[in-house]
Amino acid sequence: EAFHVYSFQNYELLQQNDVPEILKADLSVIYLTLLGCQIQNIAEFDFLTQPSANQKRMALKNLLQQNLIIFENKQFKLTHLGQQVVQLPLEIPEALAIIFSLKTCTQTSDKVCKLIAILNSVEQFFSQASDDVKQQRKQFLNNKSDHLMLLSIFEQFIESDNQQSFCKRFGVQMRTMEYIHRVYLQLIEIRAQLLKKEQIQLQNGEFDEKDIIKVLSQGYKNNIVLRGKDDRSYEKEGLVTMIHPSSGVKGGPKLM
């Protein structure tokens, strides 16, 4: 038998009933799913627990801005892009990034899939490391993005003949790397199915780092933040996020 212990002050703050998940969720995905099921009166859909008017408005605004839906003949409809997103078993930003990557070369699209796999990892990327290991790790620093640094590490891990030794040398979690690799392979399979359905063929071409940044900016545009005047933080809608002292992006791009 187990008990969850609270202080008196925290116990008094607990609500009598759990908040229904629909009131905490982003309605964007739910609305897309409803439209995918040919339910077009999504704004008036009779949820068991009705979300707030602001929740509904923000979700519809988000979908319209991303060109996933249109309002036509007094009802909402999926665009072609929206239909593509609905078909993919992914979050909206991930699906968009993969779809937009199809317009680039194979190498760029592969790297986008790797980055999405990295973003999906909830486990700690680095292990505790000595100063020597941290110094070794600096060779991967990228002043444009910390995620591009993680991408470089992951790619070197895949190519390594001795992956366990690689993780030890650079203070990287082996289990995290293996998880990212599994997710990456799943994303490649999802992309292959989309390519077949849309009858698209990826082009051979020279990889350009700018293409990755462009594709991710299109897919994750709601996550874009503006660098603060102090060069030590990024800001979005009044929320300030400080840059970690070990980050490679200090003094980096104005937008991220």
Question: What angle separates helix 80-87 from helix 174-198, to the nearest 10 degrees?
Answer: 130
pLDDT single digits (tens) 76-94? 999 999 999 999 999 999 9
pLDDT for 251 equals 60
3-state secondary structure of 236: strand
Q: CB neighbours of 171 closer than 8 A, spacing ≥ 6?
A: 126, 127, 128, 129, 130, 133, 134, 137
pLDDT of 228 > 90? The answer is no
pLDDT of 253 > 70? The answer is no
Strands 233-236 and 75-78: unpaired
pLDDT for 222 equals 77
pLDDT single digits (tens) 103-127? 999 999 999 999 999 999 888 899 8
Contacts 24+ apart (CB under 8 A), 3-9: none
pLDDT single digits (tens) 160-186? 999 999 999 999 999 999 999 999 999
Taking Cα atoms as reference points, which of 222, 193, 207 lies closest to residue 98?
A: 193
- Residue 114, classified by CB atoms within 10 Å of its CB into exposed (0-12), middle (13-18) or buried (19+), is buried
pLDDT for 133 equals 85
Question: What angle separates helix 146-159 from helix 209-219, to the nearest 10 degrees?
Answer: 120
CA atoms of 92 and 85, how far apart (whole Å): 7
- Average of pLDDT values for 125-151? 86
> Read out DSSP for 69-135?
EEEETTEEEE-HHHHHHHHSSS-HHHHHHHHHHTTSBHHHHHHHHHHHHHHH--S-SBPP--HHHHH
Letter for the amino acid at 137? R
pLDDT of 66 > 90? The answer is yes
Kindly indicate the confidence band of residue 47, based on its pLDDT and cuts at 50, 70 and 90. confident
- Average of pLDDT values for 235-243? 69
Of the listed ranges 11-25, 120-134, 145-159, the least confidently predicted one is 11-25
**Side-chain half-sphere exposure of 196, counting CA atoms within 13 A:** 6
Options 1.10.3470, 1.20.1050, 2.30.30, 1.10.10; CATH of 8-87: 1.10.10
Angle made by CA atoms 229, 234, 236, in degrees to the nearest 5: 110
pLDDT of 237 > 80? The answer is no
**pTM above 0.85?**
no
Strands 233-236 and 239-242: antiparallel
Q: CB neighbours of 69 closer than 8 A, spacing ≥ 6?
A: 31, 32, 35, 60, 63, 76, 77, 78, 79, 82
User: Quick check: 215 and 100 in contact, CB under 8 A?
Assistant: yes
Of the listed ranges 18-22, 90-94, 243-247, the least confidently predicted one is 243-247
Return the domain boundaries, the chain.
8-87, 92-218, 224-256
If you average pLDDT over every residue of the chain, what do you get? 87
Give the bridge partners for 71, in sequence order: 76
User: Quick check: 236 and 225 in contact, CB under 8 A?
Assistant: yes
pLDDT of 137 > 80? The answer is yes
Task: List helix spans (H) across the chain.
Answer: 8-13, 21-24, 27-36, 53-65, 80-87, 92-101, 106-120, 131-137, 146-159, 163-170, 174-198, 209-219
Kindly indicate the confidence band of residue 247, based on its pLDDT and cuts at 50, 70 and 90. low
**CA 256 to chain CA centroid, nearest Å:** 13
